[in-house]
Amino acid sequence: MTKGSKPLSTPMATSAKIDKDENGKEVDNKLYRGMIGSLLYLTASRPDILFSVCLCARYQSAPKESHLIMVKRIFRYLQGSANPGIWYSERSDFILIGYSDADFTGCKIDRKSTSGTCQLMGNMLISWFSKKQTSVALSTAEAKYIAAASCCAQLLWMKQQLEDYGLSFAEIPIMCDNTSAIQLTRNPVYYSRSKHIELRHHFLRDNVQQGSVSVKYVNTDQQLADIFTKPVDQEKFFYLRNELGICHPF
């Protein structure tokens, strides 16, 4: 990044398209991987850059100039927002809740979807991830069902850990913005569009029926995990960042 670069308000433009760019100009692998490594370290305290960093990290084997430009944009975003951090309030309720979302066929190379989840204790963000799914989802409902299953696994692990501190939770809500995916968790019947889903994802439905978790609908505009699945416009990015408790220190 050159000296005096103009800061940007978001880490990635909504119109950004990234692929292998096989005909693009090659860049220094060591430089690119070093930049990605530094950014990945930073995602431990700055979840607002997690999606864009993980997306750029997929091209470390043969980075091109177009990929480097994307990475430099993240640094320009950080240049203009160096102070925000995760805020943990002492007045927050001890209520465990999860948000799960997926960007259907978000990867333009292999058409795999990207799962994004986050877990909150009251209004405090305590866990988050953004990851490309291992299989190709054939529908939006399937992609979001798989994401919800990943969120469920993380919540159950957290529930078990918190029990050691004397905190118990009867039914943990998972917020999902797709009604079809929610119906898949409640109906034990295998429909034609769900019969090919890997068995390991159906433990979500088992835990819903057992009452360990519940999958509830949330409007897409209020889906906090959206920031971990795709680039969003500035207004929504700021809203999600604030709702996740990523704010300027007082």
Give the number of domains in the chain.
2
pLDDT at 188: 59
Asked if the structure places residue 194 within a domain, the reply is yes
Asked if the structure places residue 25 within a domain, the reply is yes
Domain end marker among 48, 82, 116: 82
Report residue 54's pLDDT band, with 50, 70 and 90 as the boundaries. Answer: very high
> Both 111 and 210 in a single domain?
yes
Chain segment 195-243, per-residue pLDDT in tens:
567 666 677 888 888 889 999 999 999 999 999 999 999 999 999 999 9
Model's pTM, two decimal places? 0.90
Asked if the structure places residue 155 within a domain, the reply is yes
Does 46 score more than 90 pLDDT?
yes
Chain segment 20-32, per-residue pLDDT in tens:
888 999 999 999 9
CATH code for the domain of 151: 3.30.420.10
Instruction: State the average pLDDT over residues 91-103.
Output: 89
> Both 135 and 166 in a single domain?
yes
pLDDT at 6: 86
Asked if the structure places residue 50 within a domain, the reply is yes
User: What three-state secondary structure class fits 90?
Assistant: coil
Provide the residue range defining the domain that includes 58: 1-82
Q: Which of 197, 226, 235, 236 is nearest to 106 (CA)?
A: 226
| Look-up of token digits 């925000």 | 84
Q: 140-163 and 179-186 helices cross at what angle (nearest 10)?
A: 60
pLDDT at 196: 62
The enclosing H or E element of 162 equals helix 140-163
